[in-house]
C-alpha cells in the first residue's frame, strides 16, 4: 500500500494497470488491490493506515516513492507533477493520536485565549504604528527577531518603542484612522465559542489601547484583555510602558494564562497564536494551537500539536 497527502486534489497521479490512485480532498492512495482505497469525510481528516505523506512546499523537490515489499509503483507511471514539487514526511500513529487529543481538548475547553497580532487581526499593530510614525523599516526587523524568540521580549519591546516614541496624539490618531483588519472567519469563530458558553480572552504583547476597539467589535469584554499599557508625560510625550503588566516580559503570556486559571478555576484552557511566545503559554494552557493564516512560521508549525491556517478548521471541529 502506498498512501499519502498531496496538494493537487482531483488530478490523476498514476496511470497504468499496475496500480490505482484515488484522489479525495487531497488524500490519495495507490494500491495493487481493489477496494483498498481509504476514505475521508473532511479535508482535516487523514487516513490512519498510510506509510508516508507527500507535501507540496511551493518549490521543486525530487519525489520519493515509498511502498511495501508487495507493491512497487513504476516511476514511469508517476507524472512529472508528482515527481517534483514534493517531499516525503513521516507521519506516525503517535502523531495522529496527538492530533486527535488536541481536537478533543479544543472541543471541551471552557476558556480560549487568542493572541492578537497576526492571529486575531491580520497585521502586527506595533509595525503598523511604526509605519504611521515614520519608523517602519527600523522596527520590522526587531519584530521578526522577537517573534522567532531571538531576543528577550521586554528588551525587544523597549527597543522598538524607543525607536517609535509615539506621542499620545499620534496614538489617538492611529487608533481613529487605522482600523485593524480582522482575520477572515475570526468573528464567526468567536461567535461559535460564545454560543457554547466558552469564555474568550485576548493575551497580547501589544497595546491595550489599540486592542480594546477590536475586542468590542467581537463582543469580548475589555476585562478579558491581557496586554501592555503605554505611558505618557503630562504634555503627551512618550514616557515608556508599564513594566508591571504580565505580557511585558518573556514568558508573560504563560503567566497571564496561569492568572486567569487561578482567578476563574477553568478546567481546560486553549491558547491560539502565531508565535513562539504563544507556544510558551502551554503549559499552563492545556493546548496550544498554532495559527499560520497571516504569518507562517516553520518553527511554530513544528512545535504545535495542531496547526491551522484557516479558522474554519476550528469552527468545523466545534460543529462536528
Q: How many whole angstroms separate alpha carbon 125 and alpha carbon 180? A: 8
Coil, strand or helix at 316:
helix
Q: Let me know if residue 152 belongs to a domain.
A: no
Whether the predicted pLDDT of 10 surpasses 80: no
pLDDT the model gives residue 79: 43
Q: Let me know if residue 305 belongs to a domain.
A: yes
Residues designated catalytic: 115, 117
476563574: which residue's cell?
264
Identify whether residues 253 and 119 lie together within a single domain. yes
Q: For residue 219, give the CATH number of its domain.
A: 3.40.50.1000
pLDDT digit string (tens) for 105-114?
999 999 999 9
Whether the predicted pLDDT of 299 surpasses 50: yes
Q: Other C-beta atoms within 10 Å of 146: how many? A: 25
Does this model's pTM top 0.95? My answer is no
Q: How many whole angstroms separate alpha carbon 303 and alpha carbon 113? A: 18
Q: Please tell me which residue, 190 or 82, carries the higher pLDDT value.
A: 190
- Cβ(287)–Cβ(305) below 8 Å: yes
Least confident range of 84-88, 150-154, 283-287: 84-88
Whether the predicted pLDDT of 173 surpasses 60: yes
Identify whether residues 202 and 273 lie together within a single domain. yes
Identify whether residues 82 and 187 lie together within a single domain. no
Counting the structural domains of the chain, the total is 2
Identify whether residues 110 and 224 lie together within a single domain. yes
Question: Which structural domain, as residue segments, surrounds residue 73?
Answer: 2-91
Q: Other C-beta atoms within 10 Å of 97: how many? A: 12
Segment 27-55 shows an average pLDDT of: 33
Q: Please tell me which residue, 234 or 150, carries the higher pLDDT value.
A: 234
Identify whether residues 10 and 110 lie together within a single domain. no
Q: Let me know if residue 44 belongs to a domain.
A: yes
Q: What is the DSSP string of 106-135?
A: HHH-SEEEE-IIIIIBSS-HHHHHHHHTT-
Q: Residues near 67 by Cβ (< 8 Å), separated by ≥ 6?
A: 1, 2, 30, 51, 73
Average pLDDT, the chain: 73
Q: Let me know if residue 271 belongs to a domain.
A: yes
Q: How many CA atoms lie within 13 A of 135 on its CB side?
A: 17
Backbone angles phi, psi at 14, to 5 degrees: -150, 140
Identify whether residues 117 and 71 lie together within a single domain. no
Q: Please tell me which residue, 2 or 169, carries the higher pLDDT value.
A: 169
pLDDT digit string (tens) for 156-166?
888 888 888 89
Sequence-ordered alpha helix ranges (H) in 184-251:
186-195, 208-217
pLDDT digit string (tens) for 187-244?
999 999 999 999 999 999 889 999 999 999 999 999 999 999 999 999 999 998 988 8
- When pLDDT is cut at 50, 70 and 90, the band that residue 72 belongs to is very low
Q: What are 53's three cell numbers?
A: 505523506
Asked if the bond preceding 283 is cis, omega within 30° of 0, the reply is: yes
First to last CA, the chain: 30
- Cβ(126)–Cβ(117) below 8 Å: yes
Q: How many whole angstroms separate alpha carbon 232 and alpha carbon 63? A: 58
Q: Which of 91, 114, 146 is the last residue of a domain?
A: 91
Q: Let me know if residue 291 belongs to a domain.
A: yes
Backbone angles phi, psi at 68, to 5 degrees: -80, 170
Q: How many whole angstroms separate alpha carbon 61 and alpha carbon 7? A: 14
pLDDT the model gives residue 146: 59
Identify whether residues 198 and 250 lie together within a single domain. yes
Identify whether residues 213 and 83 lie together within a single domain. no
Amino acid at each position: 500500500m502506498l498512501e499519502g497527502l498531496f496538494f493537487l486534489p482531483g488530478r490523476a497521479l498514476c496511470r497504468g494497470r499496475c496500480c490505482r490512485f484515488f484522489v479525495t480532498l487531497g488524500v490519495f492512495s495507490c494500491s495493487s488491490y481493489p477496494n483498498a482505497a481509504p476514505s475521508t469525510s473532511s479535508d482535516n481528516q487523514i487516513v490512519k493506515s498510510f506509510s508516508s505523506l507527500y507535501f507540496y512546499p511551493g518549490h521543486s523537490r525530487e519525489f520519493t516513492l515509498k511502498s511495501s515489499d508487495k507493491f512497487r509503483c513504476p516511476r514511469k507511471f508517476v507524472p512529472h507533477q508528482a515527481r517534483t514539487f514534493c517531499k516525503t514526511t513521516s507521519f506516525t500513529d503517535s502523531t495522529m493520536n496527538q492530533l486527535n487529543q488536541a481536537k478533543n481538548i479544543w472541543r471541551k475547553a471552557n476558556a480560549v485565549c487568542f493572541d492578537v497580532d497576526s492571529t486575531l487581526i491580520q497585521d502586527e499593530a506595533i509595525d503598523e504604528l511604526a509605519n504611521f510614525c515614520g519608523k517602519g523599516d527600523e522596527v520590522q526587523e526587531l519584530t521578526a527577531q522577537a517573534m522567532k524568540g531571538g531576543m528577550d521580549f521586554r528588551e525587544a519591546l523597549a527597543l522598538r518603542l524607543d525607536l517609535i516614541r509615539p506621542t499620545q496624539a499620534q496614538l489617538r490618531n492611529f487608533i481613529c484612522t487605522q482600523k485593524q483588519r480582522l482575520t477572515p472567519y475570526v468573528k464567526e469563530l468567536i461567535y461559535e465559542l460564545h454560543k457554547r458558553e466558552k469564555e474568550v480572552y485576548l493575551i497580547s504583547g501589544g497595546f491595550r489601547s489599540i486592542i480594546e476597539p477590536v475586542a468590542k467589535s467581537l463582543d469580548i469584554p475589555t476585562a478579558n484583555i491581557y496586554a501592555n499599557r503605554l505611558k505618557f508625560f503630562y504634555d503627551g510625550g512618550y514616557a515608556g510602558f508599564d513594566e508591571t503588566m504580565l505580557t511585558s516580559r518573556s514568558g508573560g503570556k504563560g503567566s497571564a494564562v496561569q492568572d486567569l486559571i487561578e482567578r476563574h478555576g477553568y478546567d481546560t484552557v486553549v491558547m491560539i497564536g502565531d508565535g513562539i511566545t504563544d507556544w510558551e503559554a502551554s503549559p499552563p494552557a492545556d493546548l496550544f494551537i498554532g495559527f499560520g493564516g497571516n504569518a507562517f512560521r516553520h518553527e511554530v508549525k513544528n512545535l504545535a500539536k495542531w496547526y491551522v491556517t484557516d479558522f474554519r478548521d476550528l469552527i468545523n471541529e466545534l460543529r462536528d
